[in-house]
Structure 1
Amino acid sequence: MIDTPASLDARAPVGDGVPAGRDIGILLVDDHAIVRQGLTTILQREPDLLIVAEAATSAEAKAAVVRTRPDIVLLDLKLNASSDSEGIQLCGELTGAHPDLGVLVLTTFLDDQLVLRAIRAGAKGYVVKDVDTSALVRAIRDVSRGGSAFDARSAAAMVRGLNATPTDTSATLTRREREVLVLLAHGMSNRDIGEQLFVSETTAKFHVGNILRKLEVASRAEAVYKGGKLGLVT
């Protein structure tokens, strides 16, 4: 966890709003140091944006919020290779403990239900990592003013998630998740699925986790069984 010298200065309470002329304090939360370094390089070019600290884990992030009192937490949802929900849980914990804190999700993964879960956990915005710099800066400023911020794809995903019927869980499976489900039916491991689809084992595991969650089952076997009943596995 790294604090910038500015983070040691006296700051207003967490999320108290950003008075005119005062820097917007940002905490970067991402498990990849190179991503945090890149974001710092990009954001520090803006005269009103100030990186007050960085964190790689949930524990570091919670401690940094208390210590540096940022206005915005720029949060990746994928904080370790074994879980796709740690970021969601952290978001809920931060917004629960600091109701006025602006949490802006910045992640690689765009999933209808994931966007909804982030919003329900208290996130004020959701953008994907390939967003252009100007859109990211605009989103940070919007959230710092108490608004919300979604890029076009995240907004569309949110609408689809809201419109999905609760009883038709298959409707929320993406094309890639349906492909993974078929490979699960063939008994493939996460590594085998990754090799088959030319993705990493971690990405394959992420898709499997999404399938289990969306189909509301606890195991791969149950997912295949329910997928068969829904006509997703033939």
Structure 2
Amino acid sequence: MSVTTGRARRPPIRIVLVDDHSIMRQGLRAVLEREDDLRVVGEAATPAGAAAAVLDARPNVVLLDLKLSAGPQTDGLDLCRALTTAHPGIGVLVLTTFTEDRLVVRAVQAGARGYVVKDVDTTELVRAIRAVSRGESAFDARSASAMVRTLNGAGADREQLTDRELEVLRLLARGLSNRAIGGELYISETTVKFHVGNLMRKLLVSRRAEAVYAASKLGLL
């Protein structure tokens, strides 16, 4: 039964699947396309294939495994960074077997909006995809706990944020709007919005005020 019952008709969420196992991609496609609002528009098994698929299909969401066949154990992290840099509006959701805290944090630092492990149930996976497509964060229970542990521990430090994100964060703390921040830094309002989204994901918050509070706790302000 589709989870979309009673949901207003909207353009479907376009998804590209990136996993080195063909059978995994086939299974994901079969599961996701049961939902009226989800459409798989591309597949890839390698970083090069993923870059081409995203350029061709223009998806809203990329479902990304961290282990791809041609490279090192976590070559998906480099791909995540490349995709989010080249396509700032795209939502990358990591779907992997790796559960280490450091990999969750590194994925977020690379631009991923969410992180779930492959034993997640279908309902939670679909919810995560929808959240990421809306620009929100999406973590399963283990991944969320990893982020909390990192924020509360030595791993959450200034290096998580770029110099530009720190500049934006300091202006946020002064209560400036995106337009005003852009004026201060001589960048566009769209670019400011991109940096704000990145720093909020890295701080595991959903509101600007929460970002300022979390940054204060971490000694970033």
- TM-score w.r.t. the length of structure 2 is 0.65
For 1:20 and 1:92, how far apart are their aligned partners in 2?
A: 32
Structure 2 residue 69 is the aligned partner of structure 1 residue 74 = no
Partner of 1:232 in structure 2?
Answer: none
What corresponds to 1:156 in structure 2? 145
Where 2:34 maps in the other structure, the secondary structure is: coil
| Equivalence for 1:129 | 118
Corresponding residue to 1:106 among 95, 109, 116: 95
Q: CA deviation at 1:84?
A: 2.0
Are 1:58 and 2:55 matched, yes or no? Answer: no
Number of residue pairs matched by the alignment: 148
Q: Distance in 1 between matches of 2:130 and 2:80?
A: 19
Displacement of 1:85? 2.4
Structure 1 residue runs of 4 or more that deviate by more than 4 Å after TM superposition: none
1:194-209 equivalences in 2 (<5 Å):
none
CA contact (8 A) 2:45 2:69 kept: no
| Cα offset, 1:46, TM superposition | 0.2
SS in 2 for 1:34: helix
1:23 paired to 2:21: no
Question: Residue deviations 1:147-184, cap 9 Å, x none?
Answer: 11001110001122333325xxxxxxxxxxxxxxxxxx
Q: Which amino acid aligns with 2:23?
A: I
* Residue identity matched to 2:103: L
Paired with 2:73 and 2:108, the residues of 1 have a C-alpha distance of 15
Calculate the TM-score normalised by the size of structure 1. 0.61
1:115 aligns with 2:131: no
Distance 1:97 1:82, change over 3 A: closer
Amino acid at match of 2:44: A
Query: Which residue identity lines up with residue 57 of structure 1 in the other structure?
Result: T
Root mean square deviation, CA, Å: 1.5
Tell me which structure has the larger Cα radius of gyration.
1
1:21 and 1:43 map into 2 onto residues whose CA distance is 16
Q: Residue 41 of structure 2 aligns to a residue in which SS?
A: strand
Residue ranges of structure 1 left out of the alignment (5+ in a row): 1-18, 167-234
Question: How far is 1:25 from its partner?
Answer: 0.3
Q: Which amino acid counterpart does residue 68 of structure 1 have in structure 2?
A: A
Moved more, 81-90 or 26-35: 81-90
Say which of 28, 34, 40 aligns to 1:45.
34
Tell me, in whole angstroms, the C-alpha distance in 2 between the residues paired with 1:74 and 1:161. 24
Q: Is the 8 A contact 2:46 2:70 kept in 1?
A: no
Question: Aligned in 2, Cα 1:34/1:83: closer, same or farther, shift over 3 Å?
Answer: same
Aligned 8 A contact 2:10 2:37 in 1: yes
AA aligned opposite 2:87? H
Distance 2:90 2:101 in 1: 24
Report % sequence identity.
Answer: 64
Indicate whether 1:96 and 2:85 are aligned: yes
Distance 1:49 1:126 in 2: 19
Q: Equivalent residue for 1:144?
A: 133
Q: Which amino acid aligns with 2:15?
A: I
Aligned letter for 1:122?
Answer: G
